[in-house]
Each structure stands twice: as structure tokens, then as C-alpha cells.
Amino acid sequence: MLNYSIRQLGQALRHREFSASELTEALLQRIEQFNPALNAFISITPEQAREQASTADARLAANTGGPLTGIPLAHKDLFCTAGVRTTCGSRMLADFIAPYDAAIAERCQADGMVLLGKTNMDEFAMGSSNENSFFGAVRNPWDRQCVPGGSSGGSAAAVAARLVPVATGTDTGGSIRQPAAFTGVTGLKPTYGRVSRWGMVAFASSLDQGGMLARSAEDCALVLQAIAGFDARDSTSAQHAVPDYSATLDDDLHGLTIGLPKEYFSTGLDSDIEQRIQEAIDEYRKLGADFREISLPSSALAIPAYYVVAPAEASSNLARYDGVRYGYRCEHPRDLLDMYTRSRGEGFGTEVKRRIMIGTYALSAGYFDAYYLKAQQIRRLIREDFQNAFQEVDVILGPTTPTTAFALDTQTDDPVTMYLNDIYTVAVNLAGLPALSHPVGFVAQRPVGLQLIGNYFNEGRLLNSAHRYQQVTDWHQHLPPGCADSVHQ
């Protein structure tokens, strides 16, 4: 079962090769075996999982199940789940139990998926390494002395180690794609508004987008089919028809024009990663794709613009955590002001405090025009760059990250260097575009990811392109060393 795709698992369940309950037990045992070393999960839900698996088996027996019925998953721990704590990787919400399910959780449950637990993450999704969690750092299954990437590092590590076939994630500036690249899995960040954000704890509301991490583009297509679509409860949800993503996976790539931004292949990109990307370009060319060099002239401004916009929105969104209504409250406050300051000071970690301070400064009177307004103007230029490019090409291709996974504790004291890990990903969020990262090989036994960027609501083309590549390569099927020693193979 370890190397089954979601489609293969679904077929095996429907053909009664094994039951959803047996699959769930096998993965719960793997989580028990491997999670102590990886720290990929914050909460594990065995009782709920067994109950949902039993319900899935009943649906399968009655032939009323769908393609995802009985498929186990994990949710990033910022999606609200009724009766299960939602911590956001923070002391502030360490004991918070949501009274309702997020839209993504609702839709997965409605399709009969089985929740195994909630995955570890950078606190309030702020980070590129998953070292900022109140519950400790997540370790990369490929090299446990390295980071898995962030902020969806727990989800990425869980999928890479085959603890779960798919896990949800969120992407504010690359937080699905970057950990996907670092751990050798496939991660999809849909178009802004494609997937409901209702019940997803906010970091930066104009940038946040839910998505998923799985082994392959085919797996991502099946899950996106379930979670995409309009939701009236989310004011940013797009009323845009959801196509059948699986129906176009095998479409021919002849006639596809892929753009190569010259800015993405310049100084700063590791030469060995560039070589892996070039090898992948050769494979895409064999599949029939044409290539054209393009320019995204404002891309150099993406990092500074993002690190004004995102902290500004975070400072507003996180103002609600004041120790009054819910979340962490300090002990024995002297007065109301003391309760506010100590609750926030003790409840938030260093990176969250840093971004709140930056964001509050950028929004303050006298600096708003110089920083926040200017960043929004740059954001418009970045969006126009992409739209101009999509007049010439169908898809844009480049590296996901400038390096492979770096060692734990090597960048935590240098936030600027840490922020530069997102140099190829943040522009996509500023423009609201869909993007996907898939594995294309290794450098020094560490995975390398390639990024595909599409035009608005063109997730189907990204999934099709990645799937065709994965049909002729096997990088997405590699298992990290030490993750196969289980009795359930």
C-alpha cells in the first residue's frame, strides 16, 4: 500500500482488496513509528479516524462511495476541525478546539475521506523552514538534520514519509510549493479564490490560499476536484465553474508553449539545481512542449513588496488574539493593559512578533504611503508582468527554490536570508495565480522541485503538464531512506 497512488488506493478499496479500516490502521501504525523522529503531526486522531473509516467501509459496501471514500488524509493545523484542537503551531492557540469545520474539512469529510490528524507548521504560517512552531521543528524525511520547508512542512514531511497519501496545506508566499520541493512531493497552490478560505485561520487575507501536498499531480487533481468551488461564506471565493481535472490529465503537450523567465535563471540559483531544471526542460521538450524565453521585469521587487503586504495584513488579523475571548491568557494580570501585553508577548513566538511589528509600522500614519501603498503599486506591476507573459505562453516554468533543503538552526538568526528562500514563489501569491511544484531529481540526496505557474483558474493545465512529466519519470515515487521499514508495505 505504501506506493499506491490515491487512484490505486481508491480502486483497491472499491474492489475489496483491503478495507478503509485496514488502511487506516496501517497508516496509524506508521505515524506511531515515524512521527516521533519527524514531528510532522501536532495532533493525531485515531478514534475519529477509525469511526470515519468504518463509515467509509459502509458506503463502499453499499456502492455509494466516490473516488476519495476511505482515503486517509491530514489537515494542516490551521484548518478548523470540530472537536479537534486547531493550534496554528502557536502557544496562543495551543488548547483551542474549534466548534465547526473549515470548508475544506467539510468537503473532504463529505467525500468520505478519513482524518488521521493535524500537521505541524510554522506558527500562524509564518516561516520558510517549519522551525517556528511552538511544538518544535519538523524534520525532513530525506535528511533529518535538515528542514522540510515551511510553513506546511508537517504536511510535506507526512506525505513524503508515506504517513498519509495527501495532506492539506496553505500557501501565502510559497508555503505549499517550497516544502513540496524540499521533500520531493507534489504541491499545488490554486488560484486565489478557487478554494474556500472559510474556517482557515488567517495570516494575510489577500494572499492566503488553501491547497494540498500529495505524491503526484494525479493525486492533487483528485483532491482539488473535491475541495474547489464557490462558497458563499467566503467573501473572496470565486464563482467560477470547476472543470473535471482528471479528464484532461492525459492531454498531449504538443502545442504547449512554456515560458522561461530569464530572471529565474540568474545569479542566486544553485548551479546543480539549474542542471536538474534543464534536464526536466529536456523531458518536457520530448513530450512536445515548446519553450520561449520571457521576462518578468518586476520580479526582483516581489520579496520587498511581499514582506510589507503580508506583515501588514498579519498585524491586523492577529490583533484579535488579546487574551480576552479565546486563546492564551497570561497568569495573574495586574490590569487590562497588562493582560493584553503579557498575553501577546508570551503567546506569540519571535517570528510572529517580528512580522506584527513590521506590519504595524508599515500601516502607521506617516509611513502608510511610503511602504504599504508603494508595495500595493508594485503588486499591480507584478500582476501586469504575468499577464503580459501569458499573452505569449501557456505556462511559466522555473525553479521552486534557489537551494535544496538547508540544515536545521542555520538560518533562524538571519531572517533576511530565510525570506530569500521564497524568491521564486511570492510573486505568484501577489498576483493570485495558480502554481505547482513537482520533484525533478536530487542534489546530494536532497530533492529538487520545479515550479509551474499558470494563468487564472488554469490549474488543469498545470496538473496535465506535471502529470505527463510524471508518466515518463519516477522522481515522485522515490521513498526517503529509512521510511520503508514497516510491516505494512
Active site residue ranges: 76, 151, 175
Q: Which amino acid is at 301?
A: L
Q: Using DSSP, state whether 481 is helix, strand or coil.
A: coil
Q: Rounded to whole angstroms, how far apart are CA atoms 416 and 377?
A: 22
Q: For residue 438, list its beta bridge partners.
A: 450
**Where does residue 89 rank: exposed (0-12), middle (13-18), buried (19+ CB within 10 A)?**
buried
**To which H or E segment does residue 74 belong?**
strand 72-76
Q: Which amino acid is at 420?
A: L
Q: Rounded to whole angstroms, how far apart are CA atoms 23 and 21?
A: 5
| Tally of CB atoms within 10 A around 249 | 21
Place of cell 507548521: 121
Q: Rounded to whole angstroms, how far apart are CA atoms 277 and 33?
A: 35
433, 389 in Cβ contact below 8 A? no
Q: For residue 405, list its beta bridge partners.
A: none
**How big is the CA angle at 3 (ends 436 and 77), to the nearest 5 degrees?**
55
Q: Using DSSP, state whether 374 is helix, strand or coil.
A: helix
Q: Using DSSP, state whether 143 is helix, strand or coil.
A: strand
Q: And the C-alpha cell for 382?
A: 507584478
Place of cell 513530450: 287
| Tally of CB atoms within 10 A around 265 | 15
β-strands 210-214, 446-454 pairing: unpaired
Q: Rounded to whole angstroms, how far apart are CA atoms 39 and 268?
A: 31
315, 355 in Cβ contact below 8 A? yes
Q: Rounded to whole angstroms, how far apart are CA atoms 261 and 426?
A: 15
89, 135 in Cβ contact below 8 A? yes
Q: Using DSSP, state whether 460 is helix, strand or coil.
A: helix
220-235 burial: b if 16+ Cβ within 10 Å, else e: bbbbbbbbbbebeebe
Q: Using DSSP, state whether 188 is helix, strand or coil.
A: strand
349, 92 in Cβ contact below 8 A? no
